[in-house]
Amino acid sequence: MSVKRSVLFGALALALAATPALAGQAKPEQAKSDSKTPQQAQEPGRWDEARKKAIDIGAQPARDVGMSRREIPPILQKAYDDPYSLKGLKACKALSAEVTALNGVLGPDYIVGNAYKENRAGKLAEAGGKTIINSIIPFRGLVREVTGAAPADRAMNAAVDAGLARRGFLRGVHLKQGCKTKF
């Protein structure tokens, strides 16, 4: 058990060390400053997102061997059970609240005309971290199947797909009803 813990903590430390690269930190002198940089002030959730990614990458071995599991959020389970239900969603405010709740779990929806921005350094750090973490467990694919991690990931992916379908459906109903409420 101590070997698993040491591997897990080493992987987590590696992932957390990559956090500045994931967040797109450009200059080391900015990290030493106690005040927020202009880039951080413009994108307050950027550090949180990078930290979440780093923790997720570091926790992957624990999920692979069955020591940790991700729970499907209730809103996604509801979407999985019946993505096209309008039960209790006749009013515009109710539709808007449901779409907002889905946005909270799925992230922001697609926006027409939005320019795609990619943080190359962050993507490289993320890919490198995932490669190192995923190489820790020999026969990882087989281990994931035996421990139930792979089926759990497939269930989570199916719930996310249902959530995306539900959000699109509800946005269409919202538009069709002529609602003016915002998401």
In a domain, 84, yes or no: yes
> Residues 165, 83: contact at Cβ < 8 Å?
yes
Q: Say how many C-beta atoms besides its own lie within 10 A of residue 125's C-beta.
A: 24
DSSP H stretches of helix in 18-148: 19-22, 28-32, 38-42, 46-64, 74-81, 92-106, 120-134, 140-147
In a domain, 181, yes or no: no
Q: Provide the pLDDT for residue 22.
A: 40
Split into its structural domains, the chain has a count of 1
Q: Provide the pLDDT for residue 121.
A: 79
Q: Provide the pLDDT for residue 134.
A: 72
Q: Enumerate residue ranges in the chain where pLDDT < 50.
A: 1-3, 6-42
In a domain, 56, yes or no: yes
pLDDT digits (tens, 9 = 90+) for 123-148: 787 888 778 877 777 787 888 888 88
Range of the domain at 160: 2-176
The model carries a pTM of 0.62
For every residue of 31-56, which 3-state class applies, written as one string? Answer: HHCCCCCHHHHHCCCHHHHHHHHHHH
| Residue 55, CA distances (Å) to 44, 120, 166 in order | 18, 19, 28
In a domain, 182, yes or no: no
In a domain, 183, yes or no: no
